[in-house]
Amino acid sequence: MSIAQDPVDGPIGQALWARADQVLPGGGIYYSRSADFAGRGVLPGFIASAQGCRVTDVDGRTYIDFLCANGPNILGYRHPEVEAAARRQAEQQTSASFFPPALVEVIERLVARVPGMAFGVTSKNGSEVVSLGVRMARQHTGRRTVITFDRAYHGSDPELANRPPPGPLSDGVRDIVRLPWNDPQRLADHCAAHADTTAAILLNPLDQNPGLQTVAPSPEFLGAIRAAQARHDIQLVFDDVRHGFRLDPVGSFRPLGLEPDVAAFGKALGNGYAISALVAREHLRAAARKIFYTSTFMFEASAMAAAMAMLEIYERDNVFAHITAMGERLRAGILAAAAKAGQAITYTGPVTMPTLLLADDPGGARLKMFARAASGRGAILHPNLNWNLSGAHQPADIDETIAIAAEAFAETPGPG
Ligand SMILES: Cc1ncc(COP(=O)(O)O)c(C=O)c1O
């Protein structure tokens, strides 16, 4: 089966692609969030509606979705209580002239969730709060350089992006130092030699990148990060935009034994409504007050109401335990299905955010065939991005997915 000859998109989806190709710029703009990231025709290009753990494309085909909007869907699409909270707020106001009360309420709640945090800021996307956290660290320390690691993704801000911008480098980009993940000695040496110019370490909880095995930080590496904070006053800006709520109910830094100076959240926070946030320690407040930061829609209040409902339901329903149990069930089933089909696979990363790799599959061509076969049978199992579990995935959905994966493995050619 050639993907191009048998795209998962039906006639309406294909017609929309034809129009999109005329008026969208293409290239890197929108790319990683478009179905094209997996190769045109592997995944449905246009989603008309979503409910629970399922999405329906414009041609009316429904899929069990394990991308979860690339993170935001943590409770289930269109969770009734989140929708009701957002609607109630929208009936009062969405964007009005000054602060909505929901701003204070949501920041109070966020600050209270993370021990040691004193104040917070909400925004709309992860990139904005990560960049703001970096600015706070620079303002506080009076230093410019920020350490990040290997291919770590921190959003598309050109300064923090994990690929150099195509145009001339700005000074900001020059102030980013990329060190190897899990090399405590390099980190310690760098921090000792450049303490007077290093403002922050910008950290993800995992080294988790498309097409690669997920690598957890080693205890020694974590020790070097703590030492950089303690010895050199380097600020730890923890980027929990992607992993927040899926590695730990409070923050992914907690199981790592880290105490960030700034923690940034996004994606799952509003269960699909556009809200991101950072929380920070008291010592950064004076620096934060000197920063000019605003945007037209940062006070849009229905997303704040959605976030408060999300946090309430997430804790009340112990969603973290649920996604862990569903993730374990999926992992066991996928491993068994692959073994039965004679496919050598690596199932890597936390069970709530796993990545599937096929053995001897340079470039991931066979994995795309697997993903296309799964799409055709009604499951979105992205071949490039990690999968995400949600509170709406129930055992029956997982078992249906495992049965789909078994057929997809059988249809996927072996290596060579
Ligand atoms: C770890 C991490 N940080 C930051 C971001 C940027 O968030 P946003 O795309 O909402 O700007 C992302 C987005 O995928 C992310 O995965």
**Strands of 197-256, DSSP E:** 198-203, 235-239
pLDDT at 2 over 50: no
Q: Which of 147, 165, 148 has the alpha carbon at shortest distance from 156?
A: 165
pLDDT at 1 over 50: no
Higher pLDDT, 157 or 81: 81
- How far out from the chain centre does Cα 201 lie? 19
**What is the Å distance from ligand 1's center to 340 Cα?**
36
Read off the pLDDT of each residue in 274-293 and give the average, rounded to a whole number.
98
pLDDT at 117 over 90: yes
Q: Which of 311, 309, 302, 306 has the alpha carbon at shortest distance from 245?
A: 311
SS3 174: helix
pLDDT at 4 over 70: no
Read off the pLDDT of each residue in 37-58 and give the average, rounded to a whole number.
97
From the alpha carbon of 127, which atom of ligand 1 is closest? 11
State whether the beta carbon of 155 lies less than 6 angstroms from ligand 1. yes
Write the pLDDT tens digit of every residue in 208-267. Answer: 998 899 999 999 999 999 999 999 999 999 999 999 999 999 999 999 999 999 999 999
**Mean pLDDT in the chain?**
95
pLDDT at 167 over 80: no
Weakest mean pLDDT among 155-169, 288-302, 320-334: 155-169
**What is the Å distance from ligand 1's center to 5 Cα?**
34
SS3 236: strand
Q: Provide the CB-side half-sphere exposure for 158 (13 A, CA).
A: 13
Write the pLDDT tens digit of every residue in 334-385. Answer: 999 999 999 999 999 999 999 999 999 999 999 999 999 999 999 999 999 9
pLDDT at 5 over 60: no
What is Dmax (Cα atoms) for the chain? 63
d(CA 110, CA 271): 15
C-alpha angle 399/60/69, rounded to 5°?
60
What are the C-alpha distances in Å from 208 to residues 10, 104, 181, 182? Answer: 33, 34, 11, 13
Read off the pLDDT of each residue in 32-60 and give the average, rounded to a whole number.
96
d(CA 197, CA 258): 22
What pLDDT sits at residue 377?
98
Exposed/middle/buried for residue 361 (C-beta within 10 Å: 0-12, 13-18, 19+): buried
Please, are residues 347 and 331 in contact by the beta-carbon 8 Å criterion? yes
What are the C-alpha distances in Å from 60 to residues 70, 105, 113, 379? Answer: 21, 40, 41, 14
d(CA 81, CA 281): 32
Write the pLDDT tens digit of every residue in 402-411. Answer: 999 999 999 9
- Shortest-distance Cα residue to atom 6 of ligand 1: 155
- How far out from the chain centre does Cα 271 lie? 12
Report pTM. 0.97
Exposed/middle/buried for residue 379 (C-beta within 10 Å: 0-12, 13-18, 19+): buried
From the alpha carbon of 242, which atom of ligand 1 is closest? 16
What pLDDT sits at residue 6?
81
d(CA 53, CA 392): 5
Read off the pLDDT of each residue in 64-72 and give the average, rounded to a whole number.
97
d(CA 191, CA 225): 9
Hey, how many other C-beta atoms are within 10 angstroms of the C-beta on 233? 15
State whether the beta carbon of 154 lies less than 6 angstroms from ligand 1. yes
What sign results for the dihedral spanned by CA atoms 133, 67, 20, 163? positive
Q: Which residue has the tokens 């700005």?
A: 170
Q: Provide the CB-side half-sphere exposure for 102 (13 A, CA).
A: 25
- Shortest-distance Cα residue to atom 12 of ligand 1: 155
Please, are residues 54 and 63 in contact by the beta-carbon 8 Å criterion? yes
State whether the beta carbon of 239 lies less than 6 angstroms from ligand 1. yes
d(CA 403, CA 248): 29
Kindly list the structural domains of the chain, giving each domain's residue range(s) and its CATH number in brackets, ordered by start.
11-75+318-411 (3.90.1150.10), 81-316 (3.40.640.10)
- Shortest-distance Cα residue to atom 13 of ligand 1: 155
State whether the beta carbon of 350 lies less than 6 angstroms from ligand 1. no
pLDDT at 172 over 80: no
d(CA 51, CA 391): 12
From the alpha carbon of 128, which atom of ligand 1 is closest? 11
From the alpha carbon of 266, which atom of ligand 1 is closest? 10
DSSP output for 339-351: HHTT--EEEES-T
pLDDT at 168 over 50: yes
Read off the pLDDT of each residue in 55-60 and give the average, rounded to a whole number.
98
Considering the chain, what percentage of its residues have pLDDT values greater than 90?
90
SS3 278: strand
What pLDDT sits at residue 139?
98
